[in-house]
A and B are shown apart, each in its own frame.
Chain A
Amino acid sequence: MTAGSSPAAAPAPAAPAPAADVRRAGRWLFRAGVVFLCAWVLVPIYLLMVNALSAPADVTGFPKRLVPGFDPGSLAFFLRFQGVAEALWNSVQVAAVTMVLSIGIGAPAGYALSRFDFPGKGMFRLLVIMTRAFPLPLLALPLAVLFIRTGLDDSIVGLALVHTTLALPFAVLITFSLFSGIPVELEEAAWTLGCTRLQAVLRVVMPLALPGIAASAVFAFVISWNEVFAAAVLTIQNRTLTAFLLQSLDVSPLPLKFAGGAALVIPALVFIFAVRRYLFAMWGIANR
């Protein structure tokens, strides 16, 4: 390359002009992608918040103001609505029990799948997913009959059992890939140093898997939090927030839809924000 052949190449003689262009375009594309993805997530949440905090007349008006009018009318109506607080508390309880149960059952299953070979392993993996193959409205009737007969009806535990069934496939498969990513040699080393099988799992594998397990617990929490149909059929007095609100919101005036949407989204957002460290940690493991 001769000096002065191209003014653009002059400052960086090591890189020819086309390569610099490509790199610049790539950077630009990367930034645009980041902005696009952020907007993808943030714009709906922003609109939800603006409308939830606006006076009813502003909600139907257009164009929107950038900053909401901070009229708490719709949200206040919501919080006064009889039973919202209890329903919120019920939702938290059901989701917490679902989380504990699905990890308690799912993590050992995922460990067994990743470490042992046993007959029917492939079939087992398929069957686990099969629990998601039947639509809940189909299962709800026999379930409700059974629950009424056994006394599980209208209880936190009963609903949590159903939600656990829904969350279990994800818990099993996520923990399966998690344990598969932890080298078995680490465990073997622990055995040679005198650990029993259980001790090796608890002291060596668990600390490594914990962030990922926490992430799959978050997933179970969100599945339970969002489930409507079973909750609407199986609980009457102890309704969860989604069962309590979602059906009514669908047919409510626009301002209340936004207020209710905000009330449903905020707790889940706060929860995910609180455990975000674990989520990122899981991605770290997956990338290794």
Chain B
Amino acid sequence: MKPRHLLATALAGLLAAAPPALGQALFWSTQAQPIEETQAMREMVLKGFAGGVDYQAADGGPWLTRLQAEVAAGRGTIAVLGGLHGDFASVADALADLSDVDVAGVNANMVALGRLGGAGQKYIPWMQATYLMAASREALAYLPEGADLEALSYDQLIAWARAMAEATGGPKFGLPAGPRGLKHRFFQGFLLPSYTGSMVTAFRSEEAEAAWEAMKELWRWTNPASTNYGFMQEQLLTGEVWLAFDHTARLADAFNQRPDDFVAFPAPAGPKGRAYMPVIAGVAMPVTAPDPAQSRALIAYMLAPETQIATLRATNFYPVVEVGLPADMPASVRASGPAIAAMTTAPDALPALLPMGLGALGGQFNQVYVDTFERIVLGGQPVRAVLDSQAEELRRILAEAGAPCWAPDAPSEGPCPVD
């Protein structure tokens, strides 16, 4: 009796399976993955779109596989794609041209990034963020004498981390150097350009050597568990670290939960300036979108000022169009907003853009920096030898991609050179 009963239940379940909801636009995104953010995207940001939006956040792997499958099958359900610049770089052929979308209000540099090195507009900038430093109140007591939080240098950061480690008996500085952490952005966009004024060209210069020596010194006073960290807000909240570097969206929870206990401030400066890297997320339309008119309407909706402000509340990513921010923003926005402004408008500010024109090789490009870190800092190999051998790999990638230099490196004819 029992197995038959089970079978009947299963069959009943099969018949009861609801047919897929029609009419809603499927927004297939790698962004706003934490469930609170997904919820906020649905309830605060996308609710106003006529016809309804089904917002689905996915990991990079399933996101890409699903998109490729729909393009290969020639039939799709995805209406709009959301992702970082790097997510789109490897799938340019799957994206429809959006040149006719009005992007008048958006920063021209960002719009240019959205062409992915080709002629058509492959994605439209959607929101932006960057990386910041965050410190708990306890950490401030050990700030080196004469150091200004708004204008910190890497040497002062090292001294600070050291002072905390020596006073408390354990390292209190943390980097997101785990598998899900964004450490490569720290090396590409912050540490190296601050010392060399370059991300690529001066990769194996003497200045770069000095940068990695500084990194080794900083690592001495860094919590060694950093190789497991992904979202520094967690370690800040538990008190495991007092001072950290991370993406603004990955620090937000610390400010939101205990706004009075943490401060945000700009990334440190090196001899060549205060380098920082912006993060840009975009929206795009796959060539297989079921209803292109609806997709375009949704993309235009994402750029509207009210949507942009709602997106900031939901995801801690800032608008890409000019908007006046209301006063009642979340604590994380109130904390990181002034720090971002201080960093980007500092007299020594040095913007280091996301890699451009690398296409599918973006992952390998990042790996060069991660490998360099692991060999020099974790493996203790000699700096000069590691830089020489990793420079070969970097050269190969840039030549294969044929990518010319991007800021802060000087524009180049042909592939960006590694001196």
Mark A residues whose CB is within 8 Å of B: 56-57, 60, 62, 77-78, 81-82, 86, 90, 92-93, 96-97, 99-100, 137, 140-141, 144-145, 148-149, 154-157, 229, 232-233, 236-239, 243, 245, 247-254, 256, 260
Contact = CB atoms under 8 A, between A and B. Distances in A.
Given A247-B58, A247-B62, A248-B34, A141 B69 contact: yes
Contacts of B59: 232, 247, 250
Given A100-B7, A148-B73, A229-B61, A156 B17 contact: yes
Contact of B38 (A90, A154, A248): A248
B233 A253 contact: yes
A97 B69 contact: no
B7, B43, B57, B237: most-surrounded residue (chain A CB, <10 A): B237
Interface in B15-34: 17-18, 20-21, 26, 28, 33-34
A155 B20 CA distance: 9
B10 A100 contact: yes
B75 interface: yes
B26, B35, B61: most-surrounded residue (chain A CB, <10 A): B35
A62 B238 contact: yes
Contacts, number: 125
A131 to B, nearest CB: 19
A238 B16 CA distance: 12
Nearest to A137: B61
Contact of A233 (B26, B33, B35, B69): B69
Contacts of B73: 144-145, 148-149
Contacts of A77: 36
18 contacts: A60-B237, A82-B39, A86-B18, A93-B14, A96-B13, A97-B13, A141-B69, A144-B65, A144-B66, A144-B70, A154-B77, A232-B62, A233-B65, A233-B69, A247-B33, A247-B59, A250-B33, A253-B234
B234 A96 contact: no
Contact of A93 (B17, B21, B58): B17
A248 B26 contact: no
A154 B13 contact: no
B17 A248 contact: no
Given A82-B39, A233-B69, A251 B20 contact: no
B231 A251 contact: yes
Contacts of A260: 35
A96 B36 contact: no
A25 to B, nearest CB: 39
Contacts of B412: none
Nearest to B233: A253
Contacts of A93: 10, 13-14, 17
Given A82-B43, A148-B75, 11 more contacts: A81-B35, A82-B42, A96-B9, A145-B72, A155-B17, A245-B35, A248-B34, A248-B35, A250-B59, A252-B34, A256-B35
Nearest to A230: B62
B35 A252 contact: yes
A144 B69 contact: yes
B15 to A, nearest CB: 10
B107 interface: no
B35 A238 contact: no
B238 A60 contact: yes
B6 interface: yes
A149 B237 CA distance: 48
A154 B21 CA distance: 11
Contacts of B68: 141
Contacts of A247: 33, 57-59, 62
B390 interface: no
Contacts of B75: 148-149
| Cβ-closest 8 pairs across A and B | A144-B69, A232-B62, A148-B73, A252-B34, A93-B13, A96-B10, A237-B20, A248-B35
A249 B35 contact: yes
B13 A92 contact: yes
B364 interface: no
B14 A236 contact: no
A90, A157, A250, A260: most-surrounded residue (chain B CB, <10 A): A250
B83 to A, nearest CB: 14
A176 B6 CA distance: 23
B3 to A, nearest CB: 8
A57 B114 CA distance: 41
A62 B237 CA distance: 11
Contacts of B239: 60
A78 B6 CA distance: 29
B14 A156 contact: yes
B253 interface: yes
A274 to B, nearest CB: 12
B371 interface: no
B56 interface: yes
A256 B180 contact: no
B348 interface: no
A233 B257 contact: no
Nearest to A149: B73
B217 interface: no
B306 interface: no
Contacts of A251: 33-34, 180, 230-231
Contact of A96 (B6, B38, B77): B6
A111 B65 CA distance: 38
A277 B237 CA distance: 44
A253 B257 CA distance: 11
B10, B56, B73, B76: most-surrounded residue (chain A CB, <10 A): B10
